């Protein structure tokens, strides 16, 4: 057996999470190999965040124009799907990862193409596209950044139906006449928004009673109304019991309420599963296919000697690209500190601890209207035993900037305050243009900024950000703890 090529750090997965681990480890002076079996840049760059937002941006721009008198009269044609697809293709580089490879080479990391698997402690074996084997060893750390894949339910006929996942939904080059979207999380609501505007007749099938169930309840209500007004047939309390498809014909869906539906494509947006089933976890005492439990430096807790780390979706802390990149920066710095003997700072808000995962996770869904939130919902805070004060503001009624942004502006903001210490535990916004409000809320929640200090963060008039002043006024005027509606 040949001697393995040795690096300080070996990273499995060259998506944005793996790339950030490599970048931070290289900044610490460590040698790095990064292994990728598909495209460097990963799921986010080619089949998720980037292409989905490229599809959605023209949709929201058109919706914004139609909400303003004088502009709406200039919008006389339907959206140009071919133009939208072309713009999307530009953003994904036509699924060519040359630019990403150049970036990896530019930071001084070594890209190894192929399927990487653990082969015992600190060892990785890579099967290359040509069938050869490359053996790697890590002096200090192996970092698993393999992400997740779409989770499909076990339903009769699902294989024959050839359902879409996020990948097919974001890389499609033509517009199906009819689409069923199964699931009402982030992928479901965003793709329903995009494809309805692109020209498909969309039916959304929601197992539960509402959309975006992990956010404040009013968010799902606003988004459902927006989808319905755009023409989406939103059906709650129903899902798919059985599927059928003959060749390239339509997909036949038998529904749990006894109904039937025929569509040209069906998109399942029903969750994610960890891409850990075939990466050699069994060689280090872990179960293939499991999520990986980590500490705040993203070191895998069930493996001795502290050499194995897991960042991003695989550790199940926060399945969001920006949170994975945040963890990656923490992890790369922590590996560098441990390798060089530098002080390791894992105190609250420390440089080597991913504490934001616990209390300050931001998320945005680019629906019409947009939905944005950070931190805890009112219900989550109360379930955690917090005594909270909840204040709501109807943005379109209270904020001049919102009225200028869109005629008949509809939206709501909520602030969840720790009633004992008077700092923010969470904030939620729904309405046109609210995505760009979120970072100010994230700073307030992550920094535990006292409400008394937020009065001195003066919002510009007339912008939608003036909602912060209205929220503070509502908090001041609220005499008692309020229950969420």
Residue-wise pLDDT tens digits, 410-467: 999 999 999 999 999 999 999 999 999 999 999 999 999 999 999 999 999 999 999 9
86 is in an annotated binding site: no
Q: Which CATH architecture has domain 5-46+91-149+273-356?
A: 3-Layer(bba) Sandwich (3.50)
Q: Is the pLDDT of residue 401 over 60?
A: yes
Residue 484: pLDDT above 50? no
Q: Is 116 annotated as a binding-site member?
A: yes
Q: What is the pTM of this model?
A: 0.95
Whether residue 284 is annotated as binding a ligand: the answer is: no
- Give the CATH superfamily of 369-480: FAD/NAD-linked reductase, C-terminal dimerisation domain (3.30.390.30)
Question: Across the strands, what pairs with 268?
Answer: 182
What is the rounded average pLDDT for all residues in the chain? 96
What share of the chain in percent tops pLDDT 70?
A: 98
Two tokens, residue 244: 């059928």
Count of C-beta atoms within a 10 Å radius of residue 140: 20
| pLDDT at residue 315 in the model | 98
pLDDT at 485 over 50: no
pLDDT of residue 76: 87
Asked if the bond preceding 462 is cis, omega within 30° of 0, the reply is: yes
pLDDT value for 348? 81
Q: Is residue 188 a known part of a binding site?
A: yes
Q: Known binder of ligand: residue 114?
A: no
Residue recorded with tokens 């969840």:
416
* Residue partners of 198: CB distance under 8 A and separation at least 6: 55, 59, 79, 81, 84, 175
Report the 10 Å Cβ neighbour count for 171. Answer: 16
Q: State yes or no: 185 annotated in a binding site.
A: yes
What is the distance of C-alpha 209 from the center of its chain?
22
Q: Are 231 and 219 spatial neighbours (Cβ–Cβ below 8 Å)?
A: no
Query: Tokens 């680019």 sit at which residue?
Result: 366
Least confident range from 164-178, 191-205, 222-236, 343-357: namely 343-357
The reply to whether 73 sits in an annotated binding site is no
What does the pLDDT average to over 69-89? 95
How confident is the model at residue 481, as a pLDDT? 46
Radius of gyration for the chain, computed over Cα atoms and rounded to the nearest angstrom = 24
Res 1: pLDDT: 54
Assigned token pair, 137: 């060893």
| Mean pLDDT within 123-146 | 97
The rounded distance, in Å, linking the Cα atoms of 207 and 188 is 12
Residue 149 near residue 273 (C-beta atoms within 8 A): yes
The pair of three-digit structure tokens given for residue 378, joined into one six-digit string: 């009112």
Residue found under tokens 């199940």 = 316
- Matching residue, tokens 């929601």: 206
> Is residue 136 over pLDDT 50?
yes
Residue 403 assigned ligand-binding role: no
The two beta strands, 370-375 and 424-431, are antiparallel
- The response to whether 289 counts as a known ligand-binding position is no
**Cβ proximity of 279 and 146 under 8 Å:** yes
pLDDT of 480: 45
> Is 466 marked as a binding-site residue?
no
Angle at 236 between CA 61 and CA 201, to 5 degrees: 45
pLDDT over 80 (residue 218): yes
Query: Where are the CATH 3.50.50.60 domain residues in the chain?
Result: 5-46+91-149+273-356, 159-270
The answer on whether 53 is annotated among ligand-binding residues is yes
For domain 159-270, give its CATH number from 3.40.50.150, 3.30.1130.10, 1.10.3720.10, 3.50.50.60: 3.50.50.60
190 is in an annotated binding site: yes
At 315-354, the pLDDT tens digits run 999 999 999 999 999 999 999 999 999 989 988 888 899 9
Strand order in the sheet with 251-255: 240-245, 251-255, 260-263
- Regarding predicted confidence, which is higher, 100 or 1? 100
Look at residue 478 in the predicted model and tell me its pLDDT.
Answer: 86
In percent, the amount of the chain with pLDDT more than 90 equals 96
Locate tokens 């598909």: which residue?
38
């Amino acid at each position: 057996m040949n001697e393995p090529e040795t690096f300080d750090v070996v990273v499995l997965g060259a998506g944005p999470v793996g790339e950030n681990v490599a970048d931070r480890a290289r900044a610490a002076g460590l040698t790095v190999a990064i292994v990728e079996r598909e495209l460097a840049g990963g799921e986010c760059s080619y089949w998720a965040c980037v292409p989905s937002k490229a599809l959605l941006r023209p949709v929201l721009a058109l919706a914004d124009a139609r909400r303003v008198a004088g502009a709406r009269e200039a919008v006389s044609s339907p959206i140009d799907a071919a133009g939208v697809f072309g713009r999307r293709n530009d953003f994904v580089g036509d699924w060519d990862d040359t630019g990403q490879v150049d970036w990896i080479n530019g930071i001084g990391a070594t890209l190894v193409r192929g399927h990487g698997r653990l082969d015992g402690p600190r060892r990785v074996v890579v099967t290359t596209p040509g069938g050869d084997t490359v053996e790697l060893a890590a002096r200090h750390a192996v970092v698993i950044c393999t992400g997740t894949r779409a989770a499909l339910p076990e339903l009769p006929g699902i294989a024959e139906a050839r359902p879409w996942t996020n990948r097919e939904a974001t890389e499609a080059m033509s517009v199906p006449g009819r689409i069923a979207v199964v699931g009402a999380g982030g992928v479901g609501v965003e793709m329903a928004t995009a494809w309805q505007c692109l020209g498909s007749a969309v039916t959304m099938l929601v197992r539960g009673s509402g959309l975006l169930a992990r956010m404040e309840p009013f968010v799902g209500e606003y988004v459902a109304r927006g989808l319905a007004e755009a023409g989406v047939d939103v059906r709650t309390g129903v899902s798919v019991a059985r599927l059928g498809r003959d060749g390239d014909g339509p997909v036949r869906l038998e529904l749990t309420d006894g109904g039937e539906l025929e569509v040209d494509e069906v998109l399942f947006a029903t969750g994610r599963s960890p891409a850990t089933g075939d990466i050699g976890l069994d060689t280090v005492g872990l179960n293939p296919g499991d999520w990986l439990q980590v500490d705040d430096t993203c070191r895998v807790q069930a493996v001795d000697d502290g050499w194995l780390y897991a960042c991003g979706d695989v550790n199940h802390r926060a399945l969001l690209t920006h949170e994975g990149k945040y963890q990656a920066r923490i992890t790369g710095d922590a590996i560098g500190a441990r390798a060089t003997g530098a002080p390791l700072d894992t105190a609250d808000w420390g440089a080597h601890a991913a504490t934001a995962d616990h209390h300050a996770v931001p998320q945005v869904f680019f629906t019409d209207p947009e939905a944005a939130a950070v931190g805890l919902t009112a219900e989550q805070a109360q379930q955690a035993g917090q005594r909270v004060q909840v204040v709501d503001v109807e943005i379109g009624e209270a904020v001049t900037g919102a009225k200028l942004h869109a005629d008949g502006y509809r939206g709501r903001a909520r602030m969840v305050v720790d009633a004992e210490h008077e700092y923010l535990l969470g904030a939620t916004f729904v309405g046109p243009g609210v995505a760009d409000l979120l970072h100010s809320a994230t700073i307030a929640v992550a920094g535990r900024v006292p409400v008394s200090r937020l009065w001195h963060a003066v919002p510009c008039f007339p912008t939608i950000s003036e909602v912060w002043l209205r929220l503070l006024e509502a908090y001041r005027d609220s005499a008692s703890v309020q229950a969420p509606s």
